[in-house]
A and B are shown apart, each in its own frame.
Chain A
Amino acid sequence: MRVGLVCPYSFDAPGGVQFHIRDLAEHLIGHGHHVSVLAPADEDTEVPDYLVSVGGAVPVRYNGSVARLSFGPAVSARTARWLATGAFDVVHIHEPFAPSVGMIALRRSEAPVVATFHSAQERSRALQVAYPLVRPGLEQISARIAVSEDARRTVVEHLGGDAVVIPNGVNTRYFADATPNPAWQGTPERPTLAFLGRLDEPRKGLQVLMAAVPAIRARYPGLRVLVAGRGDLAAATAQLGEHAAAVEELGAISDAEKAALFASVDAYIAPQTGGESFGIVLVEAMSAGTSVIASDLNAFRRVLDDGGSGFLFSTGDPASLADTVLRTLGDPAERGRRRAHAETAVRRFDWDEVAARILDVYAMVTAHGSQPSTGWLRRLFGPRSAP
């Protein structure tokens, strides 16, 4: 099958959507499909050979954070050329209503369009404003996919209609096979906790974890909190005083280091306060075999099977977090039980499973795809045809 994937966000600063598209593309190619990815990327950014750049991206404030998007006549022309030369059986556009290359591809594609919605929001101003403009584009989409129940609700509320839920994929085996790093492994006296994410983005919740550190240290004076991610750690630990000694900075880490970190620590803490639609990091941590302690956001509840494969605490509440951490560290038997459940629960997020479901969707929109157009004038004035 010839598949064209369209990514609205720039590959210069890859994030969740870009990784999803990269993994999907590589998985489909591995299964013998022809795949081309159209995305913004600067000339000096190193990109895989299946990626076609529409040119550089402009940082724009969109949907509550700054995204690097591409638009304009040159982008439009390049998109048209990509569609024409690609001769795709299906065009799969991610976040089609981000004002970027996806929106352009949507209007120009002759092939059946599949769209994946990644973001979840209570009330998306961006979508509300865009609604009248995107209406005709919406009709071009033959199949809608949402990556989570929350993303699906966002689609239903803002666009009407429905979407099928197909979760994000994770290379679970990559994380399951990771080798632990002894430097990050905890002992009963010196347990290790891990945090991963932008340090200066309040939504990622580092401040919640930091506020919980003193209470955890009261029981475990040797506690080590390993903080990985870009940002200014000194600012985050300024309030902690002597407890700052428990916090170790890892800085930005590679994928391999991330897998090793999850395979090593006693628990991974996900204190996010909102804006999470899925929680792919939780699945990665579960795959690597660590216990997951997460805020009880809807998205996290679902990934953790309502606490069946991890531990939940009240979102944004440091006391509840400290409590949950102490409970988790103090009960190895329960931890083992939930980890065992997690091990089977993550299988539904594996790329093998996820890509097969996406291919099912492709099959449904292409099955009778190449029907010649009779022309709209004939429908208006021609003889009555079979329905």
Chain B
Amino acid sequence: MTPAEIALLVLAALVVIVLALSSVARRLDRLHRRETRSRATLEAQLVHRAEAATALTESDLLDPASALILAEAGWRAAVTAPRLLGEDGADAAEERGLAESELTRALRAALGPAADQEQWATTPESSQLLARLATASYRVQLARRFHNDAVVQIRRIRRNLLVRFFHLAGRAPLPQTFEMDDELTVLDPSSGTSPSSAG
């Protein structure tokens, strides 16, 4: 082989390596964009759920003690707990997750098991409130699952040594899965079923 041929081979090998690395970088970029979107969606759905819970406390459906506890939990989740869109990362997400779990527990205690929830759906207004909450909590389950799915895939790729060595993830921070207790069964009076139980 002449030096020219060797140089050509080396060049070809380099091109192949660069192409392979850039394809991984592109995949990662696409995933990171998906993760940003799914996090924004999750944030929005969490707020919707807290609003639906708060609306429930403003009706005179619940007993005053449940209403007070629920209103407090809803306020913390929707207003005082950190948002998922900031730059504070893992700690903020963990704190938010705790606040959201508390809201879930408050809702579970206030509403009781799904079998007993028929009693709330006595007027069109209360049925509407329940339906709104049923949809919101089902959507939170969906959004959280889809978000965590994206996070898990990103973290798997970023564990790869080559990806770390070449900084293929660039400056994107390592995303965290969002953990919370979202097990909530709300009877949806409009359909007679509870979508959140099958999530």
Report yes or no: A360 in contact with B142, Cβ–Cβ below 8 A: yes
A364-B29 in contact given A164-B199, A384-B171, A386-B87 (Cβ < 8 Å): no
Residues of B within 8 A of A386 (CB): 85-87
Contact present for B198 and A165 (CB under 8 Å): yes
CB-nearest residue of chain A relative to B144? A364
Verify B32–A379 contact, CB threshold 8 A. yes
CA distance A371 to B148 in the complex (A): 20
Pair B29/A379 contact, Cβ less than 8 Å: yes
Judge if B127 is at the interface, Cβ distance under 8 Å. no
A-chain residues with CB within 8 Å of residue B148 when the two chains form the complex: 162
Picked from A344, A357, A379, the residue with its CB within 8 Å of the CB of B170 is: A379
**Chain B, residue nearest A144 (CB):** B149
Please, which residues of chain A bring their CB within 8 A of the CB of B86?
A: 386
A164, A367, A381: which contacts B145 (Cβ < 8 A)?
A: A164
Report whether A360 and B171 are in contact in the complex, using a CB–CB cutoff of 8 Å: no
From 337 to 353 in chain A, residues with beta carbon under 8 angstroms from any chain B beta carbon are: 344, 347-348, 352-353
Binary interface encoding of chain A residues 86-121 relative to chain B, with 1 for a CB under 8 A from any of its CBs, else 0: 000000000000000000000000000000000000
Q: Mark B139-170 against chain A: 1 for CB-CB distance below 8 A, else 0.
A: 10111011011101100000000000001111
Shortest C-beta distance, A80 to chain B (Å), equals 18
* Known contacts A142-B37, A376-B22, A387-B89; 8 further A-B pairs (Cβ under 8 A): A161-B153, A164-B141, A165-B199, A167-B198, A376-B30, A379-B25, A379-B29, A380-B171
> What DSSP secondary structure best describes chain A's contact surface?
mixed
30 contacts between A and B (CB under 8 A): A142-B37, A142-B150, A143-B146, A160-B152, A161-B149, A347-B191, A352-B191, A360-B138, A360-B139, A360-B142, A363-B139, A364-B45, A364-B142, A364-B143, A365-B38, A365-B41, A368-B44, A369-B37, A376-B26, A376-B29, A376-B170, A380-B25, A380-B168, A380-B170, A382-B170, A385-B171, A385-B172, A386-B87, A387-B36, A387-B87
Given contacts A144-B149, A353-B191, A360-B139, contact A139 B30 (CB under 8 A): yes
A368–B45 Cα gap in the complex (Å)? Answer: 12
Hey, which chain A residues are within 8 Å of B145, CB to CB?
162, 164
Question: How distant is A146 from chain B, measured CB to nearest CB, in Å?
Answer: 11
What size tier do the contact residues of chain B reach? 35 or more
Q: Complex Cα distance A348/B192, Å? A: 8
**Which B-chain residue is minimally distant from A163 (CB atoms)?**
B145
> Of the candidates B27, B32, B135, which one forms a contact with A360 in the assembled complex, judged by CB atoms under 8 Å apart?
B135
Q: Is residue B180 within 8 Å, beta carbon to beta carbon, of the partner chain?
A: no
Within the complex, what minimum Cβ distance (angstroms) separates A353 from chain B?
5
Residue in chain A with minimal CB distance to B41: A367
A60 CB within 8 Å of chain B = no
Chain B residues in 8 Å Cβ range of A356: 191
User: CA of A373 to CA of B30 in the docked complex: distance in angstroms?
Assistant: 9
| Contact between chains at B152 and A364 (CB < 8 Å) | no
Interface pair B26/A364, CB less than 8 Å apart? no
